[in-house]
Amino acid sequence: MDEVEERDWPADAVEERLDKAVAKLFGVSRGRAMDWIAEGRVRVGGRRAPKGAPVFPGARISVQRPPPDQPEPQPELPIRIVHADAHVVVADKPAGMPSHPLKPGEQGTAANALVGRFPELARVGPSPREGGLVHRLDTDTSGLLLAARTDAAHAMLRAQFAARTVDKGYLALVAGEIHAGGEIALPLAHDPRDARRMMAISDPAYAEEHSARNAVTRFDPVERRGGFTLLAVEIPTGVMHQIRAHLAFIGHPLAGDALYGGPELPGLSRHFLHASRLAFAHPDGSRAKFESGLPPELVAVLGDLPA
C-alpha cells in the first residue's frame, strides 16, 4: 500500500503554487510534484487541486507516495563503460536508448544497463529509477553519461551541475552554413502547440508567465560540408531539448531532427547530436575530463557530405 505523508505549508510562508509547494515540502523535483498531482496523489485540506492552485500559509498537504521503482538490472544492454572508480561511473550511451525509466517496469534504458553492472547505483540519489545518474541525455542523443556510486558523490556532482561548473561539450550537425561562433541566451518553455517540443522565448513577460527556464548555448563551427555545418557546442545550463530548440530558433536545426524541422540525410535515422566531452571536479579532489568521438554511423553520414 502506498505511503501517505502529511506536511503543513509554514504559517510564516508566502502564498505559493501547489506544484512548487509540494516540491519544497517533500524534497522532490517540480516535475515529480506535477506527476503526483496529475496522478491524483496530492490533497490540500483533504481535496484534490490543480498544479497551479494557490497554497496559503498553514495549509495541510498530503501526498500518497508511490512505491519506489528501481530499474531492473540488464547487464547485457549495449553500453560502453568509459571509466569506473569508487565514486563515479562514466558511460557512453548509444542513440535510441533512454537515459532512465519514465514509468515502473520500463526496460532498455541506460539506468537498467548501469544497475546491471553496478547494483549499488539503484540505491544512490533521491529517485531510485534514475540509477545514480546525475544528468540525462535525450533518447536519440548519444554520448557521455555520468553516474554516482555513493550518495556523497551524487550530492557533490549534482551541486556542480546546479552551479553550472560542469563542462559539457557536444558535436552537432546543423542545416545551413555557419561561419562564426555565437551564444544563444534565451529561456525555454514547453510549446503550448506541441507538448513534445520546447521553444525559445524572447519576450521576458511571456517567459515569466510560462515559467520558462534560463538556458545558454554556445557554439563554434568546426567544418562546413554540403550546406551543413558541424558545430562544437557547450551548454553551462541543462534544459530539456536545449541545444535542439536553441539551434532551431536561429534557423539551423539539427540534421535528422524532424521534431524541430531538421532536414533528413541518407543513412541518418536520428538527430545528429553527440555528447562528446564531460569535465568536472571529481569527488577525490582531482579534475576529471572524458571525451567520446563520434559514433561510426555519424562519421559515415558526415563523410558522405560533399566537401
Separation in Å, CA 233 to CA 87, 89, 149, 228: 27, 23, 28, 15
Is 8 a known active-site residue? Answer: no
Give the C-alpha separation, 21 to 135, whole Å: 24
Grid cell at residue 240 = 530539456
Determine contact, residues 140/271, Cβ cutoff 8 Å. yes
Give the CB-side neighbour count of residue 14, counting CA atoms within 13 A.
Answer: 1
The contacts found for 26-31 with CB under 8 angstroms, 24 or more apart, are 26/63, 27/126, 28/126, 28/127
What's the rounded Cα separation, in Å, for the pair 166 and 231? 19
Q: Does residue 68 contact residue 101 with C-beta atoms inside 8 Å?
A: no
What span, in angstroms and rounded, lies between the C-alpha atoms of 12 and 169? 44
Under DSSP, the state recorded for 174 is E
Distance from chain centroid for Cα 213? 13
Among the listed residues 19, 35, 92, 138, the single catalytic one is 138
User: Which residues belong to the active site?
Assistant: 138
